[in-house]
Amino acid sequence: MKKSNGFIYLKLAENIQHMISEGVYAVGDKLPSVRSLHLEHGVSISTALQVYTHLEKKGWVTSREKSGYFVRYARQMRPQLPPVTNPAPRAGRVQINEKLAVFRKTVRSEKAISLIGASPDTSLMPATKLKKALQLASRELDTSFIPYGDITGYEPFRRHIARHCLNWGRAFSPNEIIVTNGAIEAASLCLRAVANAGDTIAIESPTFFGLLLAIESLGMKALEIPTDPVTGVSLDVLEDAFKQKKVQACLFVSNYSNPLGSCMPDNSKEQLAKMLQKYQVPLIEDDVYGDLHFAPERPRTIKSYDEEGLVLYCSSFSKSIAAGLRIGWVIGGRYHEKIAQLKFMSSAATGILPQLVLTKFLDQQRLDLHLKSLRQALSMQTMQVTKAIQEYFPEDTQLTRPNGGISLWVVLPPKVDTWQLHDAAVAQGITFTPGALFSSQHRYQNCIRLTNANPWNDDQDWAIRTIGQLSQQQLKG
């Protein structure tokens, strides 16, 4: 039996979780018995058991033999949030390529336990349904996948993207969309459309190293803007940069940024859109994580408030369906034609076969059902990683509290060098991402990015415990 807002057991679990969060039940308190839930809420014994099994998997409660269920964890126990970042207020060349080359060499072992997670684990993705879509596409193909496709992409697939955009509150025509080889190509094309070598791009601090690499490869400079781990970039500092004409364009991940997991509130997105209009500064919005929200409602985008075509919106299905298909897109606004020209010069067109597979998948499946399941898994895994960090890392560790996405940002005590920590972890067969890779200013040496992308198991627990022990050893040494 279902309710409109989900399974009964999930609703009951959410209510108990909320009461724990609000302090109605404290850590160590005994919770109502399975029989009490059965009688008080009119649910079956099996449904009542599901409630506690779900909460136990998320780490909120623990069972004691012949005694029942007890509160194990409360939000108030989580480590302190990191402060707003404080990068240097000057633009500079990005020099991240050499660091990344060294990093890539150290993480090639397939046997290593990975805490990197560029996209959700394959077990969370709709592999069987994608295989069915591939079979359907192959049966219906003639020779249409052999020649170059349209520069802007396969038109039926662009219609699906246009429908998907309604989820964040804006209607677009398929003709406004250009399909790309992933979101990184989309962002790179947008950078080339709005700026030239030597120009300065405003970015979050810290920000995803793939975007830093794109800026570096184009010979542009980066101005890191102070960023709150919850609400995103400081609009006051950004507007000051606009006034002083310090930047030619911006590049932000507005929803569940990588690595902080920050999500700019909707009123701030609207304020930023008005600032862009006032100062006529274009913004490239990377929204690859927007569909991975843990709360019921999807956050809006900056693009949804854009009245003058100054926001170049980039996204992909890499984080939500299949990274290996390498399919992204851009809605370029007033820069649409220029992006199309640049796309033609860089790769002529995006491969038609992956677009056909995704089109068949979206024709046959309800994407919202898959995303609901994926978001529930990521939310639970976030809680499990958070609990492990709290248990194993040094006491004064700071940790972000993302409400979506696949990244957690960990700030260790200042004495910890996470490059050295990474080398020690690799020797133990563990990989993670050192914080220094997320800045153009040689910052965040005591920070790491961990992922919630992997289903929780003993290996994941052991890996985080080992990192915690190694960091403790650094502090003692």
Q: Give the pLDDT confidence of 192-210 residue by residue, as tens digits.
A: 999 999 999 999 999 999 9
Instruction: Please give the structure tokens belonging to residue 198.
Output: 């030597």
Residue with tokens 């396969």: 154
What is the CATH number that goes with domain 80-85+95-120+369-476?
3.90.1150.10
Residues of the chain with CATH 3.40.640.10: 126-364
Length of the chain: 477
Q: Would you state the pLDDT for residue 25?
A: 84
What is the CATH number that goes with domain 126-364?
3.40.640.10
Q: Is the pLDDT of residue 4 over 50?
A: no
Q: Give the pLDDT confidence of 395-431 residue by residue, as tens digits.
A: 899 999 999 999 999 999 999 999 999 999 999 999 9
Q: Would you state the pLDDT for residue 74?
A: 66
Residues of the chain with CATH 3.90.1150.10: 80-85+95-120+369-476
What's the pLDDT band for 59 if we cut at 50, 70, 90? confident
What is the CATH number that goes with domain 2-76?
1.10.10.10
- H helical segments located in 282-407: 336-347, 352-364, 367-392
Residues of the chain with CATH 1.10.10.10: 2-76
What's the pLDDT band for 57 if we cut at 50, 70, 90? confident
Q: Give the pLDDT confidence of 434-450 residue by residue, as tens digits.
A: 999 999 998 999 999 99
Q: Would you state the pLDDT for residue 5?
A: 36
Q: Which of 403, 399, 190, 397 is nearest to 311 (CA)?
A: 190
Q: Are residues 404 and 463 in contact, defined by beta-carbon separation less than 8 angstroms?
A: no
pTM of the full predicted structure? Answer: 0.85
Q: Are residues 321 and 358 in contact, defined by beta-carbon separation less than 8 angstroms?
A: yes
